[in-house]
A and B are shown apart, each in its own frame.
Chain A
Amino acid sequence: MSKFIMHRLLFMVVTLVIISILSFIIIQLPPGDYLTSYITQLRSMGTDVSDEQIEYLREQYGLDDPVYVQYFKWIGNFLTGDMGFSFSWNRPVNELVWERLGLTLVISISSLLFTWIVAFPIGIYTALRQNSLSDYFFTFLSFIGVATPNFLLALVLMYVSFKYFGINVGGLFSPEYADAAWGIGKITDLLQHLWIPVVVVGTAGTAGLVRIMRANLLDELGKPYVITAKSKGIPNYKVILKYPVRIALNPFISTLGWQLPKLISGSTITAVVLSLPTTGPLLLDALKSQDMYLAGSFIMLLSVLTVIGTFISDILLALVDPRIRYV
C-alpha cells in the first residue's frame, strides 16, 4: 500500500511539473510580453507610465531574464502563494481567485451531490428493469442530457423561466443581496438562486453517470458471484446492494477526485451564460484581455486541483478494491 502511494505521489509531482510548464507556455504565448501590451493599453487610455515604473515592473517579473529563469521565478512565486499580478484588475491574482473560488466550490460540490443523488438510483433502477419502458425512457433522456451542451441548457432554462414564469434566473443573488454582508437572508437568497446552475452544471454529468452506472451494473449482474450469493438464500435486494452495486460503484469512487475539478472547469461556460460571480467568467475575461498572469495561474490552480483530486481518487480506489491494494 505504501509503495502504491509512493508511486502515485511521484506521478503526481511529475504531472504537476509538466502542467506548470504548459501553463507557463500559455502565459508566454501571446506575441510580445504582456507588460508591453499592458503599457500600451495604459497609454492608450491616457494614463502616463514613467520609465522608472516600467523598469521596476520589468525587474519584478524578470522579463529581461532568459525564459527558464522567468519560469522558475513564476513557479517559485506560485508555490509561495504569490500568483502574480493581474494587470487588468490591478490587483494580485490571489485575491481575485480566492474570492471567487468559494462560490465556485459551493456550486461544484452541490452539482456533484445532485449528480450522484439523481444518477445512482436511476442507473440502478434502469439496470434492474432492463428493456422496460422506463428503462428506455431514462436511457433516451440520458442520451439527450449527454448531447446537450451545458450552456444551451442554461439558455433554454433562462428562456423558459423568463417567458413563462417571468423570473430572471441569472446571477447567484437578488440585487438587494448582491453586495450585502453574509447573513441568513443572503444565504436563503443564494439557495434560491443556486438550483439553476446546479441543475445546469449537473445535468450532463448526471446523464453520463446514469449510462455508466447502468452499463457497469448490467455487467456485474450477470457475474457468477451474484448467483453464488443468491444461492445462499439471501434476498435479492440485499444481494444486489451488497455485491454488484458495490462493485459497480468502484469506478465512481475512483473518479470522485477528478469529478470535482471537472465540474469546476465545466461550470465555466454555464457561469458565463448565467453571469455567476465564480471563477469561470474571471478566467474567460483574463484570456480575452490577455491578462496572462491571471489566466496562467488560474489554469495552473485548476490543474493542481485536478491532480490532487486524481491522487485522492487513486487512494480511495485502493481502499475500496483489495485487488489494487495488495499488488
Chain B
Amino acid sequence: MANNNILEVENLNVHFHTDEGIVRALNGVDFKVERGEAVGIVGESGCGKSVTSTSVMRLLPGVGEIAAGTIKYYDKNKKQHDIINLKADGEHMRSIRGPEMSMIFQEPMTAFSPVHTIGNQIMEKLLYHEDIDKDEARRKALELLKKVGISKPEQRIDEYPFQYSGGMRQRAMIAMGLACEPQLLIADEPTTALDVTIQAQVLKLIKKMQADYNLSLILITHDLGVIAHMVDYVNVMYLGRVVESGPVEEIFDNPAHPYTQDLLKSIPRMTGNEGKLASIEGAVPDAYSLPKGCPFHTRCRKKIGEVCERAYPERQEISADHYVNCYLHQDLGDK
C-alpha cells in the first residue's frame, strides 16, 4: 500500500505519576503527518500539545508514561519504526532523534546551555551523528548559521547564548534543528517568547527552511492566527484529545466543533469589532479528574443535553479529510 505518511499517531495515552495523583495528559490522540506537509496542532495552554510532541520524540520526563497507543515513523527510506516500542535512550531511538526528526523549543534562552558556546552545541549534534572531524563540523555549523540569517557567523559561532538576542537565539535553535538534515521538524511554540515583529521573521524563516529542505513540519501553537499562513492541515486539541482536524481552509471556513468555533472567535482581527476579543468562558477542568462524556461539555455553549455527558462522541468525517468528535455531528437517531 503506497503510504505517503511520515508520522502516524494513534490512540496515544500519556499519564504522569505525580505526588498528587495520576495526571491523564493525553487520552487518545490521533493524527498523522504526510511527507513534506506542514501540520498544525492548536489548543489552549495545558491541553497536551507539548506532551504530544515530546512523546513522539520519546523525551517524556521520568514521571511520564505512555500508557497506550502507537506512534509509527517512516524514515528516509520509508522504513517503518515503531517508536513506542523503542527504548527511549536506546541506540535505535537516538539514531532517529536528530538525523530523522528534531525539535525547536519555546524558550530559546533556557533551551541552550548557558555555559557552552552556540557553535559547540550545534557541532555536538553533527559530530555525534556524522562521521566528520571538528573542522568539518565547524564548517557545517557556520553554513547553517548563515543559512538561518545570522550575520557574522564566524564571530557569532564562538559566542554564548546570553550574547545573542532573543530572535537570534531562536534562529540558532532552528539551525541546530536543521543540523543532520532531519525529515521531520517539530516546532513547539517557536515564537511565543518573542516580540511580535520578530515572530513574523522567525515564522517566515521556518516556512522557508521547510521548502528548502523539503521538511515535514509539526507546528504547535495556541494561536490559530499563526497557523493560518503556515500549515496545510490543522489538529485542534482539547484536554488531551484531538477534537477536530481538517485542511486549514476547512477549519477556518467551516469549523465544526463548538470549541474550534470559540477558538476562532478569540483571534484578534484587524477588521470588524476590534476590542471585543472574545475568550472562551469557563475554566479548563483539571487533568486529575476529567469530565465524563465530551470533555468540553462543562463549557460548551451548544451542549445538546445529557447525551454529551454520557460517552465520548465518535469521530465523524463531515467532509473530505475533515473530522470532528461532537454529538452535533453524530446521528443520535435511536439513542
Interface residues of A (CB under 8 A from B): 222-225, 227-236, 242-243, 246-247, 250, 320-323, 326
Contacts and interface: CB of A to CB of B under 8 A. Distances in A.
A302 B96 CA distance: 57
Of A227, A228, A242, A246, most buried by chain B (CB within 10 Å of CB) is A228
B43 interface: no
B176 A232 contact: yes
B98 A235 contact: no
Contacts, number: 79
A250 B111 CA distance: 19
Nearest to B114: A323
Nearest to A222: B61
B305 to A, nearest CB: 44
Nearest to B122: A232
A43 B99 CA distance: 89
Interface in B11-43: none
Contacts of B97: 230-233
A234 B128 contact: yes
Contacts of A247: 113-115
B110 A320 contact: no
B224 to A, nearest CB: 25
Interface residues of B, number: 32
* Chain A CB within 10 A, most for which of B54, B94, B173: B94
A230 B59 contact: yes
Nearest to A327: B162
Given A224-B110, A236-B89, A231 B57 contact: yes
A229 B105 CA distance: 11
A247 B116 CA distance: 10
B73 interface: no
A222 to B, nearest CB: 8
Interface string B107-148: 100111111100001001100110000000000000000000
19 contacts: A224-B107, A225-B113, A227-B54, A227-B59, A228-B103, A228-B111, A228-B176, A229-B113, A231-B98, A231-B103, A232-B98, A232-B128, A234-B128, A235-B94, A247-B113, A247-B114, A323-B115, A323-B162, A326-B163
Interface string B168-179: 000001001000
A35 B98 CA distance: 77
B95 interface: yes
B59 A232 contact: no
The 10 closest A-B pairs by CB, nearest first: A233-B98, A232-B125, A233-B97, A233-B94, A224-B110, A225-B113, A322-B160, A228-B111, A231-B103, A224-B111
Interface string B152-196: 000000001011000000000100100000000000000000000
A236 B96 CA distance: 15
B89 A321 contact: no
Given A229-B124, A235-B89, A322-B114, 15 more contacts: A224-B107, A224-B110, A225-B111, A228-B111, A228-B121, A228-B176, A231-B57, A231-B59, A232-B124, A232-B176, A234-B128, A246-B115, A247-B115, A322-B115, A323-B114
